[in-house]
Structure 1
Amino acid sequence: MNEIKHIIAVASGKGGVGKSTTAVNLALALQARGADVGLLDADIYGPSQQLMLGVAEGERPEQQGGQFLLPIKAQGLKTMSMGYLVTEKTPMVWRGPMAGGALAQMLEQTLWGPLDYLIIDMPPGTGDVQLTLSQKATLAGAVIVTTPQDIALLDAQKGIEMFRKVDVPILGVVENMALHVCSNCGHQEHIFGEHGGERIAAEYGVPLLGSLPLDRRIREQTDAGNPTVIADPESPVTALYLQMAEKLMAALDSAGNGAVRQFPEIKISDD
């Protein structure tokens, strides 16, 4: 774990705001800028990165020494997910501490090797998994994903406040689904409201890393296992992800090291 330079949590106060899509495209954008990047899918109950990265169902990480897991390489990223360890139809009927323990094991017992950035796709909310990560690892910071609508902004505020309480810096806000452009006539419409990301970023004194459009192709590409940064590298949307990556790299270079503290060994049984 000492070989990971920066750990970045991509989080949201609620589900359905495009957090996982943002996490995978941000990881790929950092890679496109020459960085060695890992991606940990920390959504224990609803892992999605396996599908988004096009990893075949049934592919399992190799073991080493009977204790450690080798990350699965996908789209050039070193990745780990609960989706690699269970089938698609296996529900994770676990209480919070068990989910936190699973996250700790995937983080510590994966042989990541040298990484410039480890992106962690967090589950929505402010529960056990978030607290486990913030208490056990020294995060370089968190990126909060929201949509412009007021309900999403309320939950985003809770996410920001949670990270502030555990002394994790907020690296910025990503406003997703900010604008819809009609594919037939080009009419632009703010379906979920305007400038919500700007308002919450200004309120907390953090940067607005970017505003992403509501674009069907983003959904289609990630569902097909070929995220936008890979599928359409010359598109305006990819340019937005690359700008976000550049802002993060600049912020972290000026902030210093975000290395990991070692976890204690955590064992889960049915007793």
Structure 2
Amino acid sequence: MELPVPATEADVLEALRPVQDPELHRSIVELGMVKGIAIDGPTVAVRVALTIAGCPLRAEITNRVTEAAVALDGLERADIDFTVMTDEERAAVRELIHGDPGATAGSQAAHGHAEGRAIRFADPECPTRVLLVASGKGGVGKSSVTTNLAISLAQRGKSVAVVDADVWGFSIPRMLGVEHPPAVIDGMLVPPETHGVRCISMGFFAEEDTPVIWRGPMLHKALEQFLTDVFWDDPDFLIVDLPPGTGDISISLASFLPRAEVYIVTTPQPAAQRVAQRAGFMAQKVNLTVKGVIENMSWFTGDDGQRYEIFGSGGGEELAERLEAPLLGQVPLLAELREGADGGRPIVVTDPDGEAAAAFAAIAETIDVSLAPTRRYHRELKIV
């Protein structure tokens, strides 16, 4: 009987090559995180260099490395020892996955130039679809729609990222249930991820009870950094939660993201849709396409099974007609939807078979399939 050949250090290194850093989604071998391997009988010791001290995902890295190592013949235990990368090693990681931080906009893209790096999402060759979620006024549940729509797209197997551009009323991290701030690697922000959605927000840099008192140029610069200094890694969808109205931020993002699709959130109330239409007309004036309308708080279903239209009816349909865009769906009014938003428990996660989750799933499918740009499919089929 032929005895199995004991695993070697080279074998362990190859076994670790498919293991990805949970935040950077790159091989820990490719990133230079594996600093040492030693085998002593059935035990293998692996030294891993974390990109930052106090990495919140250390336990996940331990599990991934252990699972890959003990899968080899003859190895029954893995001892993981951690160290931290040097500044030079972090700089090398940033350049590997995010490019040269000193590169200019003119050398990287033909559109959407900012003051320093190019905005990748403005490049016609970028595969990411950018969705701007807008509303005419506050209080219509725009951020709740953004949060649940993002997770619904992630549940369809898509890579999804969210920019919380509502710098005065930031709420996306709380609604998603994000538990730790972005990591910083050589000046590059790595957005935290939960429910398959990565996000960046002013909420990571300002306290909730501290007002953000900034003028237009400062807001413009902050948004530029959200789009250029964050490691987004070409997600399938970048969803931008805009502040209500048609102010500086919306105008800046229109110039930064000329390929963006606009989705308007309103309620059934006629007065709300009349205000919401201004956001749609603003988008059209800056040459962005309004791709659809989402009606929130459409009805409340009582214990008797009856639907009660608390805020009236017809607002979403009327707005869609005015903007010549489809009404993508109607989301019911639920106490659980509001409570989940306040507590970081999105309803599409806590009640995936419920009425609201079904509405968001249908809207996500329409955006992903029916409203997908035909030009992308043509390019994949090499027709154009």
Q: 1:63 — aligned with what?
A: 184
Distance 1:11 1:70 in 2: 25
Q: 2:292 — aligned with what?
A: 172
Equivalent of 2:174 in 35, 51, 55: 51
Which AA in structure 2 matches 1:44? V
Which AA in structure 2 matches 1:28? I
Q: 1:219 — aligned with what?
A: 338
Q: 1:60 offset after TM fit, Å?
A: 2.4
Deviations 1:85-144 (A, max 9, x none): 122222101113322221121121111013000011111010000000001113330110
Deviations 1:21-60 (A, max 9, x none): 000111011111111000111111110011101123xx32
Query: What is the root-mean-square deviation of aligned Cα atoms in Å?
Result: 1.5
Does 2:197 match 1:77? yes
Q: 1:252 offset after TM fit, Å?
A: 4.1
Distance 1:90 1:74 in 2: 25
Does 2:225 match 1:105? yes
Which AA in structure 1 matches 2:145? T
Deviations 1:58-78 (A, max 9, x none): x32111222x21111122211
Equivalent of 1:92 in 195, 212, 215: 212
Which AA in structure 1 matches 2:309? H
Q: 1:4 offset after TM fit, Å?
A: 5.2
SS in 1 for 2:238: strand
Q: 1:156 — aligned with what?
A: 276
Distance 2:242 2:370 in 1: 21
Distance 1:111 1:4 in 2: 15
Scaled by the length of structure 2, the TM-score of the pair is 0.63
Distance 2:204 2:189 in 1: 11
Q: 1:250 — aligned with what?
A: 369
Q: Which moved more, 1:87-96 or 1:109-118?
A: 87-96
Distance 2:215 2:198 in 1: 28
Deviations 1:162-198 (A, max 9, x none): 000111111100011111122x323322111111111
Q: Are the structure 2 counterparts of residues 255 and 164 from structure 1 closer, same or farther at C-alpha, using a change threshold of 3 Å?
A: farther
Instruction: Structure 2: give runs of 5+ residues left out of the alignment.
Output: 1-119, 377-384
SS in 2 for 1:115: coil
Higher relative contact order (CA 8 A, sep 6+): 1
SS in 2 for 1:243: helix
Identity among equivalent pairs (%): 41
Does 2:28 match 1:28? no
Which AA in structure 2 matches 1:122? L
Task: Output aligned runs, 1:195-234, within 5 Å.
Answer: 195-234=314-353
SS in 1 for 2:373: helix
Does 2:304 match 1:185? yes
Answer with 1 or 2: which has the greater Rg: 2
Q: 1:17 — aligned with what?
A: 140
Does 2:237 match 1:114? no
Contact conserved, 2:261 with 2:288, CA < 8 A, in 1? yes
Q: 1:207 offset after TM fit, Å?
A: 0.5
SS in 1 for 2:332: coil
Contact conserved, 1:52 with 1:223, CA < 8 A, in 2? yes
Distance 2:372 2:138 in 1: 30
Contact conserved, 1:4 with 1:116, CA < 8 A, in 2? yes
Distance 1:95 1:4 in 2: 33
